[in-house]
Amino acid sequence: MEVRGVLWGDFESLFAFRRSRYDAIERDPTYGMVSQPAPPTLPEFASWFGQLHREILERRTVCSLAVEDGKVVGMCSVRGEGTHRETRHVGALGLEVLEGYRRRGIGEELLRHALECCRGVFEDVTLAVIPSNTGARRLYERLGFVAYGVAPRAFQRAGTYHDFVLMHRRLA
């Protein structure tokens, strides 16, 4: 397994990866990744993929992939929370690993790689995690994230509301 930045050649595998979260949500409505109402179409994904590359080149986004045998099995991105000069120093983190690849240390490798790539791009990184995702929360705490609050009823799926635990890490 290789952890690295995103490449143009990752298009097809990353498209399949992004669409797979909808199956995961179907199986487990508490799956913590937020998503669009429907899986992306090929043109929608192509637009997203081009925008991702633009943001990486403009140093507004960092994206790390875990790739095994040419297949994207995990992704960690840190996107700038704002375009305003006053908020550009903060990035919002998202981390996802495919079912069947979890609990193998891939999430930790992705997170470490992404945080290292954030140096010189962001000063602070924030994230939101649902309280029931204790494994993810322990990982974030182990890598220096600190909970600073709760966003009540911030996540709703299948008629059930969940809070978000808000976490922060300074990259000094």
Render pLDDT for 38-89 as a digit per residue (tens, 0 to 9). Answer: 889 999 999 999 999 999 999 999 999 999 999 999 999 999 987 788 888 9
The pLDDT value given to residue 84: 81
Which amino acid does the sequence have at 151? A
- pLDDT > 90 fraction of the chain, expressed in percent and rounded: 72
What is the three-class DSSP state of 8? helix
Rounded CA-CA distance 61/39 in Å is 22
The band of 150, judged by pLDDT with boundaries at 50, 70 and 90, is very high
109: its two tokens: 């490798």
Rounded CA-CA distance 134/70 in Å is 30
| Residue whose structure tokens are 């790689």 | 113
Q: What DSSP assignment string belongs to 69-116?
A: TTEEEEEEEEEES-SSTTTTTEEEEEEEE-TTSTTSSHHHHHHHHHHH
The pLDDT value given to residue 25: 76
The pLDDT value given to residue 64: 98
Rounded CA-CA distance 34/157 in Å is 9
| Residue whose structure tokens are 């791009």 | 121
The pLDDT value given to residue 160: 85
Edge-to-edge strands, sheet with 61-68 = 2-5, 61-68, 71-80, 90-97, 124-129, 160-170, 146-157
The pLDDT value given to residue 32: 66
Q: Give the pTM.
A: 0.91
The pLDDT value given to residue 86: 87
Domain range annotation of the chain: 2-170
Model confidence at 121: pLDDT above 90:
yes
Superfamily of domain covering 2-170: Gcn5-related N-acetyltransferase (GNAT) (3.40.630.30)
Of 20-34, 47-61, 92-106, which gets the smallest average pLDDT?
A: 20-34
Rounded CA-CA distance 146/71 in Å is 32
